[in-house]
A and B are shown apart, each in its own frame.
Chain A
């Protein structure tokens, strides 16, 4: 009984505290319809998933990434490989940087242009300046991948999460989550692992 007296305020406090951290919209889950966007590419032009250029695409590999994060950097070559491998079979990479440049100066638009040139990105690297797309998708950290499949005019989330199971060492990867998901989609089969979790740099939200 004595314990209960202490417990009640503790739990009340916990509930109060946890409610302060509740994310109102957690973003997408596999099977959800994803929104299209019009975001500025590093060449200054706006890119949308419904652009004429993507008319023949079967879907997209959307990668929320950035310039500064060591985990993003560790995956850059693998993102380039994914685009090489799958853009011709209908799943091009679209990279998006949603970090606020005031909070993370290295992730500014100018540095995006530089990073893309240094790494010779052959895919769009878009600036989600308002962070609305990261919020809508529920991107939480970088890199965070969403594989979308076109179904009519809709874009359906078929896989979300990590690229593979070893950030540090590409030689020791045993599970290629994104490759597996796209291979299944190309074969007309369901995606066996539709979502995974991974560690990454938190998206640098604009300070309110």
Chain B
């Protein structure tokens, strides 16, 4: 079992969600996050003073899936999230050691 975590531009969320539904993923978790990568934030102006703002609003989505599907999920997210401009985000895949479905107590791939 793998967890695909992607940081994307907030306005790509709708397209990414639609694309993931298209390959029948079991579930998606999204959260609003703030961060920076090579883009190194941006400047903002508040009441006449300029500020270097490191943390830019981003959207994080997480999809738990079977190990064999992880690469496909990552590809689908990347294709749907890409704008070609700086700040498109990153995707990483991690291994999951144990998954439990709370309602039934099922574990492992059954619980996905």
Q: Do A and B come from one complex?
A: no
